[in-house]
Amino acid sequence: MAGRRTDTRERIQQVALELFAERGYDKTTLQEVAERLEITRPALYYHFRTKEAILASVVERLTESMDELVAWAGEQPSTAEARKEVLARISGLLEDQWRPLFRFAQVNQGVMRELPAGERMQQGLIAMISVLAAPGDDPVRGFEARLAVLAVVLGSVPFLFDLELPDERRTAVALEVAGKLVSGGY
């Protein structure tokens, strides 16, 4: 039974994010979320009482995965291969679960600034962007490391680039550029 509850919560999160991105956070109601899911409002309330609770749960899941990635990356050797693996894992998480939240955050920047979930997401992003920058790096190397992470993130957002590439190819290009940045290829 716990598996069904988790599946329902994840479906609610996914559909709510879609609606928040389409209509805007402020204009979306819980009734609309319930209707899109084809469930009753009481069924939705069983899982989430407010839009803020839905958003907070999505951000918490995102930041937990960021924290896990940052911790894992901190245990890796400072080699070009390890840095490329960190970038590949970031890319995988973007493809798997982060993209809808990033799209939502981009469309609803005002909301993200106002809610505690937005601050938590910002802290997680800063930690993730800094994951490849070592404390002893010279400023150029530290900047390249941060740019590499941003290249992977930006490569997953199709509407930011005027590149007529399929998602998989755009992601591969972003990883190639990021890999060059962390291995001194530029």
pLDDT in tens, 142-175: 899 889 988 998 887 766 666 678 878 888 999 9
pLDDT at 107 over 80: no
pLDDT at 3 over 60: no
Supply the pLDDT for residue 176.
93
The number of C-alpha atoms within 13 Å of 168 and in the hemisphere containing its C-beta is: 0
Supply the pLDDT for residue 88.
93
Q: Which residue in 120, 123, 126, 129 sits closest to 86, CA to CA?
A: 129
Q: Would you tell me how many other CB atoms lie within 10 Å of the CB of residue 178?
A: 29
pLDDT in tens, 58-93: 888 888 888 999 899 989 888 888 889 999 999 988
